[in-house]
Amino acid sequence: MTFSEKLIRLRKREGLSQEALAEMLGISRQAVSRWEQGTALPDGGKLLPCARQFGVSVDWLLDEDQGWEVQRSEAKGMTAHQQGIVRTVSGAVLGAGLFVLLVFLVVGSSLGIHVIENEKDYTGVAAFVRYYHVEWLPIVAGVLVLLGAAGLVWLKLWQWWHQSP
């Protein structure tokens, strides 16, 4: 399998256009087109970023004797598409947690509920929690915020760790 065949297959697997791949690698779309047509190969400075983008080795990309099945068994790490999924899910979880906390605080503060319990006077969010028995709600929202933030931090650390040669 040639470099150009592998590149086309990898790019399509990730759902990238030639233009999107070119932008990620800091080159022109025409350069990617020439690589895919087999009329040119990337220079040494673009081979490693290209391989990292797809989570494959430079050796596999250039060795025509190594087919697709070899790449699948040797693939390490996450592809750009998988990183995008982690980023999207973590961001959605973080956003959901923040949204729930914000709504909880705004609604709890604005309803003007007043609760007297065990000779203690509660107003605002504390009264809202006691009146509607939603002690669990800020805990769930906090867990969502922590999980979402942890996912984003983990992804950044993973990217940092895997950018080093």
- 97-128 pLDDT, tens digit per residue, is 999 999 999 999 998 899 998 899 999 999 99
pLDDT for residue 162 is more than 80 = no
pLDDT for residue 70 is more than 60 = no
User: Strand 120-123 vs strand 114-117: parallel, antiparallel, or unpaired?
Assistant: antiparallel
Report pLDDT for 159: 79
Q: Which residues lie below 8 Å from residue 138, measured CB to CB, with a gap of 6+?
A: 101, 104, 129
Please, which pLDDT band fits residue 134 given cuts at 50, 70 and 90? very high
For the whole model, what pTM was predicted? 0.54
pLDDT for residue 161 is more than 60 = yes
CA torsion through residues 146, 149, 153, 158, sign = positive
- What residue segments make up the domains of the chain, in order of their start? 3-74, 80-163
Superfamily of 3-74 according to CATH: lambda repressor-like DNA-binding domains (1.10.260.40)
Chain CA centroid to CA 54, Å:
15
Phi first, then psi: give them for residue 115, nearest 5 degrees: -130, 135
pLDDT for residue 68 is more than 80 = no
Better-scored residue on pLDDT, 58 or 91: 91
pLDDT for residue 138 is more than 60 = yes
